[in-house]
Amino acid sequence: MAQVEATTERVVAADAEKVFDALADYSGTRERLLPEHFSEYEVREGGDGEGTLVHWKLQATSKRIRDCLMEVTEPTDGELVEKDRNSSMVTTWRVTPGGEGSSRVVVTTTWKGAGGIGGFFEKTFAPKGLARIYDAMLAKLAAETEK
């Protein structure tokens, strides 16, 4: 099994603290940021950053649906890490100041991919599909925080 990684980033015209707070607000803002690929969103514990347990289904393709139960930690300032209890998937959100009231948001998701030919296709195409999903989410984040 090979490690698969997808990374997407965006500069948002809002302070890093405001952007981070929006991402960490699982009981409010976060659900509004999700594109149509996400369903069955439910906060099960916490709701604000560290200590949150949140569930959703992610439909990356017409045939591929992941049932995700994410534990949220904040290992460093400006960083949210979502670890899936149901798989090897880990998503890390990093928000850093970008200067002049802007911030840079980088989202990276990694997981252990399948082996064989299926793994080759997963490693080749899954990061692009996930990048499109996170591009949509980051656009909504920008619209939400640039108000």
Q: Beta-strand (E) ranges in 90-146? A: 90-99, 102-112
Helix boundaries (H) for 25-66: 29-33
Sequence-distant (6+) residues with CB within 8 A of 36 are none
Q: What percent of the chain has pLDDT over 70?
A: 91
Residue 120 pLDDT more than 90? no
Mean pLDDT of the chain: 91
Q: 105 near 12, Cβ under 8 Å?
A: yes
Q: Which of 147, 140, 114, 111 is nearest to 10 (CA)?
A: 140
Question: What is the average pLDDT across 100-106?
Answer: 95
At residue 61, the pLDDT reads 76
pLDDT band at residue 129 under the 50/70/90 scheme: confident
pLDDT band at residue 81 under the 50/70/90 scheme: very high
Q: 24 near 128, Cβ under 8 Å?
A: no
At residue 99, the pLDDT reads 86
CA 71, 134, 97 angle in degrees (round to 5)? 80
pTM of the model as a whole: 0.91
Residue 122 pLDDT more than 80? no
